[in-house]
Amino acid sequence: MKSKEANEKKSFSWKGFKQLLNLLRFVLPKKYAFIGGLIALSVSSMTTLAFPMLLGDLINQANPEASLQHINKIALILLAVFAVNAVFAYLRIYWFELVTQNMLAGLRQTTYNHLIRLPMNFFSAHRVGELNSRISADISILQETFTFTIAQFIRQLITIVGGVVLLSFISIKLTLFMLAFVPLVAIGARFFGKHIRSLSKRTQGQVAQTNIIVEETLQGISNVKAYANESFENQRYTQSTNEVIDVAIKGSKARALFISLIIFSLFSTIVGVIWFGVYLVNKGEGINAGDLFKFILYTVFIGASISGMADLYSQVQKAIGATESLMELLDEAPEFNDQEAEGSQTKLKGNIRFEHIGFSYPGRTDVTVLKDIDFEIKAGQKVALVGASGAGKTTLSSLLFRFYDPVHGRLLFDGADARQIHQQVLRRQMALVPQEVMLFGGSITENIAYGKPGATMEEIKEAARAANALSFIEAFPEGFQTTVGERGIQLSGGQRQRVAIARAILRDPAILVLDEATSALDNNSEAQVQQALNALMQNRTSIIIAHRLTTVIDADLIVVLENGVIAEMGTHDELMADSEGVYHKLSTRLQKNTEENTEL
């Protein structure tokens, strides 16, 4: 069992490293700059290695027989080496920064593009703050890694390998003596590396939890203030950030202990090399004072590189942890393939058939939300779905948009199974006006144009006119360029609804879904919005999810849902004829409380 666990840990570590290397595919657009950076890095590293050799030669000239011309020559060569080193150091930094910034932009774009194409059940299982953290915090760690860590890692590697090769030319005995300390460092790196990677992933996970709290609090700031829960939220955030500190401190202790041991090993090695070198010089083992000076400098260079590698190694482990989190996200299967939608000629007429549909949400398979739903909507009809909260009305609209597919039965559009129609092709011919309108923080123009990207200004104005929104938009000092603010906060509820309706009108959908679009409005706003909705519903299949009787009374078909099943169906007059029916009871109760605007 122990052997199996060890193998699993080993493969896990290797898998993470391979995933980190896999990110190099984002380097390909700037591959020549990357190659140039590697060449510049190699040249600057090798010129650095020439310094101890030339300096040792210069020290060997410290005798009466040395010529001034030779001394000056070595000094000039040293200056030339430093100049070359400076030029290639500049090129290395510039090219690696160019490559890194383009690579990270590509990674962010790929992650975001993949994220918004994941199915709805993924978003049901993950919180927004957590996903935000993966795109921001994890990629920030990778930015540091690819901007600085990898270049330094390669530089230190060249220094170590090149230094050892040059040392072997000076004295094999002294080189072997120095290398005897390396296995101890390697064992320490292996042991601490696993622990540091584990703590790094825990830290990133805790940071994600902290981001979730910020995201949710700011999104629901009105509720926070309404319930005077500022202190509670501050306490919750403080506790979460303190937990980040605890985990991060554990990680820093591990790194500090690792680096301290490396530094101790480094200076112990230098002392040992000097001791053994002096011994060899005194014994006349073919090594002079200048060679010993070279050897000591190279040992310092190599020791410093090994010491630096220890910290770089811990940074690479953090990057591996961040990469694993990102790869988990990128490994999620997308909802659809964009290429499959290209060239599709499916044109919806608007006929819809719910054929014995049963449904449970992926995360709650034990709860049946819809049971044997069976009815038909003909093209151009206006159909209302009514019922108490939790009856299954909104779930039906989610199935229409193929956010989810039925567990049992079939959903048919114009006689074709919905699963045979690509989600993008289907959704491009549908529009939704929800109860809680989501407006983006840009201008009114941008929000209306969201229904048809690339629409002309004339089309946008015509859609606003049809939505009964033109008058209030033009009354603003900046007109259509008015900024609506976060989630449309600078507009009233009725204004937001009419902007959403204008967006749907611009879309010109074959199928329209109105999800309680007027339930949160006052009577005056409702009248204006209802007028716009009536214009929008002309000559298209419309599904109305509503509580208020005024919005469903003239529907061609009313479907009454109760606990996930169809309780009854018919027109308003047909359903009112059954005095014992669910709809009749709801309508009667509504009529008795008209002044209070009681909902069905």
CATH number where 24 lies: 1.20.1560.10
Cross-strand bridge partners of residue 565: 562
Q: 176 lies in a domain?
A: yes
Specify the pLDDT at position 3. Answer: 39
Q: 522 lies in a domain?
A: no
Q: 243 lies in a domain?
A: no
Residues 129/213, Cβ–Cβ less than 8 Å = yes
Q: 258 lies in a domain?
A: yes
Specify the pLDDT at position 2. Answer: 39
Specify the pLDDT at position 375. Answer: 93
How many domains does one find in the chain? 2
Q: In the structure encoding, which two tokens stand for residue 238, read together?
A: 């403080």
Specify the pLDDT at position 255. Answer: 72
Shared domain for 305 and 356, answered yes or no, is no
Specify the pLDDT at position 543. Answer: 92
Alpha carbon distance 561, 579 (integer Å): 17
CATH number where 552 lies: 3.40.50.300
Instruction: Kindly give the pairing relationship between strand 541-545 and strand 370-377.
Output: unpaired
Shared domain for 80 and 174, answered yes or no, is yes
Shared domain for 304 and 366, answered yes or no, is no
Three-class SS state of 267: helix
Strand order in the sheet with 511-515: 430-433, 511-515, 541-545, 382-386, 557-562, 565-570
Shared domain for 53 and 188, answered yes or no, is yes
Alpha carbon distance 558, 544 (integer Å): 9
Q: 560 lies in a domain?
A: yes
Shared domain for 410 and 315, answered yes or no, is no
Q: 95 lies in a domain?
A: yes
Q: In the structure encoding, which two tokens stand for residue 260, read together?
A: 């301290």
- Using the CB atoms, write b or e for 425-440: b if 16+ within 10 Å: bbbbbbbbbbbebebe
Shared domain for 265 and 121, answered yes or no, is yes
Q: One-letter amino acid identity for 571?
A: T
pTM for this prediction: 0.66
Shared domain for 266 and 403, answered yes or no, is no
Shared domain for 280 and 390, answered yes or no, is no
**Phi–psi pair at 280, nearest 5 degrees:** -65, -40
Structural domain containing residue 381: 351-429+543-600
Q: In the structure encoding, which two tokens stand for residue 61, read together?
A: 């000239």
Q: 473 lies in a domain?
A: no
> At which of 330, 365, 391 does a domain end?
330
Shared domain for 13 and 120, answered yes or no, is yes
Task: Tell me how far apart the terminal alpha carbons of the chain are, to the nearest angstrom.
Answer: 62
Cross-strand bridge partners of residue 377: 352
Specify the pLDDT at position 344. Answer: 61
Shared domain for 39 and 138, answered yes or no, is yes
Q: 436 lies in a domain?
A: no
What pLDDT tens digit does each residue of the chain (600 aa) get? 333 333 333 334 556 556 666 677 777 788 888 889 888 888 888 888 777 777 777 776 666 666 677 777 878 888 888 888 889 888 888 888 888 888 888 888 888 888 888 888 787 777 766 777 677 777 777 777 776 777 777 877 888 888 788 878 877 877 787 777 666 666 666 666 666 666 666 776 677 677 777 777 776 776 777 667 778 788 888 888 888 787 778 777 777 777 777 777 777 777 777 787 777 777 776 677 777 777 777 777 777 777 666 667 667 777 777 777 777 777 777 877 666 655 566 788 889 999 999 999 887 888 889 999 999 999 999 999 988 778 888 889 889 989 889 999 999 999 999 988 888 888 889 988 887 777 877 888 988 998 888 889 999 998 888 888 888 888 988 888 988 876 667 788 788 888 888 888 888 889 999 887 665 556 666 677 777 777 778 888 999 987 666 678 888 999 999 888 999 999 988 888 887 888 888 777 766 655 444 444
Shared domain for 121 and 176, answered yes or no, is yes
Residues 503/472, Cβ–Cβ less than 8 Å = no
Shared domain for 74 and 173, answered yes or no, is yes
* Helix axes 172-179 and 289-330, enclosed angle (nearest 10): 40
Instruction: Kindly give the pairing relationship between strand 511-515 and strand 565-570.
Output: unpaired
Cross-strand bridge partners of residue 354: 375, 411
